[in-house]
Structure 1
Amino acid sequence: MSIAPGSVREEESSAGQGIRSFRQSLLAMLGLSSVVMMVAIDQTVVGTALPSIVADLHRFDLYEWVATSYLLTSVITVPIFGRLGDWLGRKPLIVIAIVLFTVASALCGFAQTMPMLIACRALQGIGGGMLVGTCFASIPDLFPDPVVRLRWQVLFSSAFGLANAVGPSLGGFLSQHYGWRSAFLVNIPVGVVSLYLAAKHLPHIRHARFERLNADWKGACLITVALGSLQLLVEAAGSTGSHAGLYAAVAVLSMGLLVRQERRAPNPVIPPGLLKDRATLVLLVLSLLMGVAMFVLLFYVPLLLQGGLGLDAGKAGIVVTPMVVCITVGTITNTRIVTRLEKPNLLLYLGFGLLGVSCAAIASVGAGGASVGFVVAMVMAGVGIGFVMPNLTVFVQQVAGKTRLGIATALIQSARMVGGMLGTAMAGTMARHLYRAGLEPVLTAKAAAAPGHWTLALQDPQTLMSAQAAADFAGHANHAGFDGEAMLGAARAVLVHALQTSLFGVALLMAAACVIVRLLPLIPITSIAASRQQGAPE
């Protein structure tokens, strides 16, 4: 794809020329906020509905793929469309992405098998990646002054928080009363509203340049192959008869070709020059680690609550809600204090510290899911994410400069999704192996004479996620002369232990993140006016 040369200047269509009034800024931010709300609702609704999906469509071995297929395609589209937005303007891309995301959501709602659902989620991820890559970069377009930007970002964060507040409970309610398909179909009316607001009120801001734009599709394909093979490698680890060696070879080869391609491409997906800056590289690593914690909590705490502790989808959604609500609380609190600190980096220590403590606490109190300790741990997780996520975005925008702002913002979002993809794959693989390894000896202790098919029936824990399936299993086991409830209880205890171990691993990663923050140079948050007074470049 190429664009004819243009003059080197920033330009706006008539809808966005000059200084925008408060009303124009408000309507533009409402358009962006509605889009973010749609993506956030999808993430939180699907996380709570996922155990119900597995109970209906089975294939627990593909549990994490419902999440990672979305993240994998999003990772590719975020930087591609982040860069295209720098050249073409972000509004047309946002409109196209909303349509694609809404159509893909409808297809997910009608999926009949897990592979079909995974394919539709991958398509949905393309739309979601386009939205993330363009919406976050639209805010500095609208508000170049970082201090003003932080004030307006409260509206953005509030929309995110509102979606997070209703998402888990909505997902649980819909799954329990109307079936898991409604958790995807709910995106359709939200998409229609988002499309109207974005098309009507978002200004079309373009950055015209002399050079021709050649999208780095080859680099995007190599990233897809590299990340896909890495995920397959993670899932194959420890499995007998797997193709782990093949996946490792493909990952190494594709990464080598990617490095070569990005050095040669005129407009690389991952600009090598951007990665040479230490601050940018550290911020990308931190974003990846935050993605691990955020998505593992979103997708595996509902499994812990429903499959391990026996809560229904509605109650699980209520228990998850404090975390996602407190993401907004943490973000708003962060916005109020970050510009007043001489060392804003301190908030990253606090955020990652809270995330680490919360993961360890959630794992420790797993046996009492509705306890006060569990809820407090969820609150800490939300506040921790709220202290980390907006700062990583603002920090990278500060160090990247105006000309690379879009791609730098997109890479931060992509790094978070890569972390989510690899984190959910690792957590799922570890939990699955630990569950299957611990199930047989525990069931043998509970029912020594149980035939092998009883143990085999619980190898995939979808039986634990459906009240009807659990009741049927217990009834059949009791009829055969075994204690069905004791067998189910033993299987739930094994699943809880497996998920607890995964969460402890995430807690250790958050401790490592606190160490990595030490490598980040001081990044002050100052307004454009203050920078000019100090003689600093904008």
Structure 2
Amino acid sequence: MAVHTTTHHSSGQVLPFRESLLAMLGISFVTMLVALDQTVVGTALPTIVAELKGFDLYAWVATSYLLASVITVPIFGRLGDYYGRKPFLIASIVVFTGASVLCGMANSMLFLVLARGLQGIGGGMLVGTAFACIPDLFPDSVVRLRWQVMMSSAFGIANAIGPSLGGFLTQYAGWRSVFYVNLPVGLLSLFFVWRYLPHMRHVAHEGRMRLDWPGAVLIALALGSLQLFVELLPKHGVSAAAVALLAVSIVAAWALWQWEKRFPQAILPVDMFRNRSLNALFTLSVLGGFSMFSLLFYAPLLFQGGFGMSPQEAGLVITPLVVFITIGSIANGRIVSRIPNPNLMLYVGFGMLAVSCLAVVIATRAMPHALLMAFMIFGGLGLGFVMPNLTVFAQQTAGREHLGIATALLQSLRMIGGMVGTAITGTFVTHMYASGVRSALENDHAMQWFGDLGDPQILINHEAQTTLTTQMAQAGHNGGVLLETAREALVAAIHLGLALAAAVAVISVWQSRRVPPVKLRRQIEPVVSAD
């Protein structure tokens, strides 16, 4: 295979406009594939569980996917640096799409969980390689920011239509169709990537490269244990199993650090963490993920369970959050290349995210929906100002050799921040809600109903509420008052969790000062390409 230096076009892109557009279409379809799956499947889950009858594995449908993807993102981000990203992107589309078909064919919950784990491996490969393809195509960071809008738009469209599409497909075509919908999108992305994405490699190495298998195993152990700890914490609190998993994660992370310092072709180059600028950006990615996922996961529960909105009303109120992440990214691309201090956008973005979280904390059921939507718009714009800049700043700081692993680590660390954020908020919600409900039921001598009322999901299920209030009335209790008390307990618990998310966003504003001034470069660096 011939290796040569690619000739750059004067506009700061590797390919002419038409080829760049077609290659970016392929990458955008890949992004849409992952985003669609994340939003569509959630809507169908209650129906899936009802048919496959495996409620004990309910959480594992999401967990198995997350676990596999969190582990594979950094591994394939690094392999892409060595071997070029195109082969891994093609393999990831094939694995992800094939696993989607297996999910649709599932005849038991265990089969579905295993197929979702395989889908997570494909999803992790996709995220680990797709995001790093953009700087390959556009070495000039100013040009890159403009093209990145296509990827943000694909993500935004998928997030906006995903919940509604999931509901529609489940109702009219059956739950299996929510997995089969990945097939046409997967084939489309496969065609564009195969045909138009160039095969570029940035790290030239002599002879056969030694793969860092111990590093990969230690990453899997550290992140896998952390993910399982996060799953256990909200349900069982600080149990012996949770502490043991956290200890395994910490020991594996320490062992990984020690090993990678000595291995010449480390999958996780530790010298990146000694870079002050990258360190600051990685920290901001964790903190940003914490606030972002807390808001994305618990605002819908607040609106439906706490404020009594229908799923459609809650969907309408929450949609501006995901749509304006895209609009914010588009606006950011225009603004950041025109201002003398691009770092300013991090302060503005995290500040807006903090205000949005605080606004939801003081939100009440009596507030007009338009005002709640304005809070969501503010948060979406803030995230749109933060996320693309963290990526571009890290890519510029890391240099060509570490471009893929730096981009992949940002995605992984954001997911880890989100895992920790949702676990802590989930722990608050589970225990504060249960405590409030228990107190109300004890006062009313109605503790026999704790099994029904102790799960916040009943505040979303109107049929279950009607059945419960009827049964309580027959036993001489005022079910309506007790349900209202449960709603108040849920609102208080979510408000506390989102207050913590707001505090983390404020800390992020303060931490943004650690990022050294970034200058968006116009010069073009040579890229090693293998056609």
Relative to the length of structure 2, the TM-score reads: 0.88
Which residue does the alignment assign to 2:95?
100
AA matched with 2:335: I
Question: What is the DSSP-based 3-state SS (H/G/I as helix, E as strand, rest coil) of the residue aligned with 1:205?
Answer: coil
TM-superposed CA distance for 1:211, in Å, is 5.5
Range with greater deviation from structure 2 (368-377 or 91-100)? 368-377
Which residue does the alignment assign to 1:219?
215
2:394 pairs with 1:396:
yes
Range with greater deviation from structure 2 (364-373 or 55-64)? 55-64
2:490 pairs with 1:458:
no
AA matched with 2:407: T
Which residue does the alignment assign to 1:187?
182
Range with greater deviation from structure 2 (54-63 or 419-428)? 54-63
AA matched with 1:147: V
Q: CA RMSD in A?
A: 3.1
Q: How does 1:93-132 map to 2 (within 5 A)?
A: 93-109=88-104, 118-132=113-127
CA shift in 2, pair 1:251/1:92, >3 Å: closer
Q: How does 1:109-508 map to 2 (within 5 A)?
A: 109=104, 118-174=113-169, 182-207=177-202, 208-210=204-206, 212-234=208-230, 235-236=232-233, 239=237, 242-368=240-366, 371-445=369-443, 448-450=444-446, 452-508=447-503
Per-residue deviation, residues 315-334 of structure 1 (Å, max 9, x unmatched): 33222210111001100110
Distance in structure 2 (CA, Å) of the matches to 1:49 and 1:143: 38
Contact 1:288/1:416, CA 8 A, preserved across alignment: yes
Which residue does the alignment assign to 1:3?
none
Which residue does the alignment assign to 2:80?
85
AA matched with 2:351: G
Range with greater deviation from structure 2 (390-399 or 167-176)? 167-176
Distance in structure 2 (CA, Å) of the matches to 1:202 and 1:349: 35
List alignment gaps of at least 5 residues for structure 2.
8-12, 527-531
Contact 1:443/1:490, CA 8 A, preserved across alignment: no
AA matched with 1:28: A
AA matched with 2:451: L
Per-residue deviation, residues 109-131 of structure 1 (Å, max 9, x unmatched): 56677766554443322211111
Distance in structure 1 (CA, Å) of the matches to 2:182 and 2:263: 37
Which residue does the alignment assign to 1:15?
none
Per-residue deviation, residues 361-397 of structure 1 (Å, max 9, x unmatched): 1122153576222111111111011000000111011
CA shift in 2, pair 1:194/1:526, >3 Å: same
Per-residue deviation, residues 22-41 of structure 1 (Å, max 9, x unmatched): 21111111111111112122
Which residue does the alignment assign to 1:518?
513
Question: What is the DSSP-based 3-state SS (H/G/I as helix, E as strand, rest coil) of the residue aligned with 2:514?
Answer: coil
Contact 1:139/1:149, CA 8 A, preserved across alignment: yes
Distance in structure 2 (CA, Å) of the matches to 1:344 and 1:54: 47
Distance in structure 2 (CA, Å) of the matches to 1:273 and 1:406: 15
Distance in structure 1 (CA, Å) of the matches to 2:396 and 2:512: 17
Distance in structure 2 (CA, Å) of the matches to 1:430 and 1:331: 32
Which residue does the alignment assign to 1:20?
15
2:65 pairs with 1:70:
yes
CA shift in 2, pair 1:232/1:203, >3 Å: closer
AA matched with 1:356: A
CA shift in 2, pair 1:214/1:29, >3 Å: same
CA shift in 2, pair 1:345/1:76, >3 Å: same
Relative to the length of structure 1, the TM-score reads: 0.87
TM-superposed CA distance for 1:150, in Å, is 1.8
Contact 1:72/1:418, CA 8 A, preserved across alignment: no
Per-residue deviation, residues 181-238 of structure 1 (Å, max 9, x unmatched): 5544433332232222222332222344325433323223222322333344454488
Question: What is the DSSP-based 3-state SS (H/G/I as helix, E as strand, rest coil) of the residue aligned with 2:133?
Answer: helix
CA shift in 2, pair 1:162/1:252, >3 Å: closer
Percentage of pairs with the same residue: 52
AA matched with 2:302: L
AA matched with 2:181: V
Contact 1:172/1:313, CA 8 A, preserved across alignment: no
Distance in structure 2 (CA, Å) of the matches to 1:398 and 1:301: 34
